[in-house]
Structure 1
Amino acid sequence: MDQHLEVFVKVVEKENFSKAAEELHMTQPAVSQYIRTLEESVGTRLLERSNKYVRLNKAGEIVYHHAKEIIALYTKMQSLVDDLTKRASGPIAIGASYTFGEYILPHIIAKMQEQFPLINPSIRIQNTKEIIELVKKHQLDIGIIEGLYKQDILNSEVVSKDRMVIVAGPRHPLLSQTEEIKISDLEEETWILREEGSGTREAAENLFEMYEFTPKKIMVFGSTQLIKESVEAGLGISLLSSWAIKKELTNGYIGIINAKGLPFKRNFSILTHTSYQTKALKTFIETLRDYLADPSKHTF
């Protein structure tokens, strides 16, 4: 791999020549020379420099974006070559949307590490839309999202169904109601939802569309944990994954509203950029499938 690109990316991310040199185990003059040579090769300046900062200009933004992809592709290529003779090992960049990443992925990683300690996973947790973009840009080897991926740019596969239920705080009057209620009767309730771009938000909007109503009041919060705390406090109700509420249900912090047509089901899908996969990535996918296929993991 061209080391000039590696040095350039490090300078950009550290915003400082000295810090980049220290991390790369190089001298600062050597780093400066690499940047000058790269700029001469490209034919224009890439960085704006001062005593206080190092910043990308427009040309630098283009080079940085593609340099990241080139480095990621080189790393993947090297891992594939290494796999010809080695057991499952090396880095995997895994991305997951919030529900899967916070409540399911840690257990899968723990299971994999028990059997394959030489695999070194790194994790990014962001909403579904952001995970898709990171896989497209080769910043992630695999993404796990809520819902379906509807484009042809990436390979996608549904790996599990997610059961979603409507939850309320322990003192909510609807929890004591034994007869099923219609979901559309919840139109007057305050609904606490995730932000746009979230798979959980998309599921809630699909539910409203299916039952032809729009809540009179919606509150938007940026994390599932905050939504659970708010539901427990009595601020409103929400549609959440059964994976995300196991502890709260066990401890009686929240309850499930007995609504007709629930649980609402959505998909968990995996996204990869290529059919060529390292042994480490294949091992992770196999571990993920085994975990999700265990019925005991799906019960409340």
Structure 2
Amino acid sequence: MNIETKWLDDFLSLTQTQSFSRSATERHVTQPAFSRRIRALETAVGCELVDRTSVPVQLTAEGRLFQITARNLVAQLDDSIAHLRSLKRRGKSVIDFAVSHTLSMSLFPAFLHSLQGELGGVRTRQLVANVDDSVQALKNGICDFLLAFEDHTLTPDHFRKLDLQTEELIPVCQADDAGQPLFNLDDDRQAVLPYLSYPREIYLGRCVERLLCHLPRSIELRQASESPLADSLKVLAMQGMGVAWVPSFAIREELRQGFLVPCGGSQWRSPLQICLYRCNRPLPEDAEALWQFLHARYSASTPLPASDGFES
């Protein structure tokens, strides 16, 4: 597959203007040239993305799905290019962290807050991506540190690791009027339950799949929706759409306020180890000093449970 990035920008423009002529003007090309580029994109992906019979122009079902992919690809590419260009300008007073989406929303800010006294005037920069892309960023030297779930592919031969905090992947759902789980994994009377899943190819998806390979009881989990983002599944669970496995650090407040309740015992839970990684190669001075401080803080003890961790 050979897709030019300008085709993605063309397509995203068309989704906004719903007009070939207006998008051609916006993209500074003639309308026939713009139409050929959209057709070339469709040929590359193997399906029609645009319904040309409708006025204004509408997307096909495949086009609506591809719109999400195109938007994410363009945004990630723009962010990556901006980050790479900034590397040329950065001095020793910038420390770069790669952080997965799930950890970036609540856990990473708390982690930084716990380091305020040590960072002083040192700036930090966050590269947010999915877990696998964040790992790749560390391997490629794009960042100084990786804050992630434990990854056994990052071996001691090339990487160093600090175990920071232990969390859990917890099944949760909406509560009924009595405060009990709407969907109860331990209730033998509920043989079929709606399931809010992660894609199997991402880290949390693999964790849940391993857990479900050994079900504590006979039950059918019928997929109701899928998302790569834990926060999206959390919201769907709060709306009563089904059971979602969500990291414990992402739902503390929702559990406290009763917006969500655990819907299964400990046998339905899976541990999550939060780690900080670095490469074995030398780091910039400020990053190395931070690593030495964190090494002294964490290496002499077992990982902190969530209640004693760096979350405020």
Normalising by the smaller structure, the TM-score range is: 0.5 to 0.7
- CA gap 1:172/1:91 in 2 versus in 1, 3 angstroms: farther
**Correspondence 1:83-162 to 2 at 5 A:** 90-152=93-155, 154-157=158-161, 159=163, 160-162=165-167
Structure 1 distance, partners of 2:190, 2:276, is 33
**Residues 183-194 of structure 1 mapped to structure 2, 5 A cutoff:** 188-194=192-198
Q: Secondary structure at the match of 1:175?
A: coil
Aligned sequence identity (%): 10
Shift of 1:193: 2.2
Q: CA deviation at 1:243?
A: 0.6
2:223 counterpart of 1:199? no
Structure number with the higher helix fraction is: 1
The C-alpha deviation readout for 1:126-170, integer Å capped at 9, x for no partner, is 211110111122111111222323254741425132212110112
**Where does the alignment leave 5 or more consecutive residues of structure 1 unmatched?**
1-50, 53-64, 80-89
2:233 is matched with 227
Paired with 1:127 and 1:264, the residues of 2 have a C-alpha distance of 20
Deviations 1:239-261 (A, max 9, x none): 11111101101111100113241
Q: For residue 216 of structure 1, give the secondary structure of its aligned residue in structure 2.
A: strand
Does residue 209 (structure 1) correspond to residue 220 (structure 2)? The answer is no
Q: Distance in 1 between matches of 2:85 and 2:162?
A: 29
Q: Following TM superposition, by how much is the alpha carbon of 1:105 offset from its aligned partner in structure 2, in angstroms?
A: 1.0
Residue in 1 that maps onto 2:171: 166
In the other structure, the counterpart of 1:261 is: 267
- The verdict on how the C-alpha distance between 1:233 and 1:70 changes in structure 2, with shifts beyond 3 A counting, is closer
Cα shift readout 1:107-129 (whole Å, capped 9, x = no counterpart): 12122234422211101222111
Letter in 2 for 1:255: V
1:45-90 alpha-carbon deviations (Å, 9 max, x no partner):
xxxxxx98xxxxxxxxxxxx9xx98995x889x84xxxxxxxxxx1
Q: Distance in 2 between matches of 1:230 and 1:194?
A: 12
- Deviation >6 Å, runs of 4+: 68-71, 184-187
Measured in 1, the distance between the counterparts of 2:289 and 2:123 equals 12
CA 1:281–1:145: 2 relative to 1, 3 Å: same
Q: Quick one: structure 1 residues 295 and 266, their matched pair in 2 at CA, closer, same or farther if it must change by over 3 Å?
A: closer
- Following TM superposition, by how much is the alpha carbon of 1:190 offset from its aligned partner in structure 2, in angstroms? 1.8
Deviation at 1:173, TM superposition (A): 8.8
CA displacement at 1:172 relative to structure 2: 8.6
The one-letter code matched in structure 2 to 1:245 is: I
Residue pair 1:232, 1:254 contacting (<8 A) in 2 also: yes
1:239 partnered with 2:245:
yes
Contact between 1:104 and 1:243, CA under 8 Å: does it hold in 2? yes
Aligned partners of 2:98 and 2:190: how far apart in 1? Answer: 34
Q: Partners in 2 of 1:109 and 1:95 — Cα distance?
A: 13
Q: How many residues align?
A: 225
Structure 2: which amino acid aligns with 1:168?
Answer: C
C-alpha distance 234-172 of structure 1, shift in aligned 2 (>3 A): farther
Question: What are structure 2's unaligned runs of at least 5 residues?
Answer: 1-27, 30-79
Q: What SS does structure 2 have at the residue aligned with 1:248? A: helix
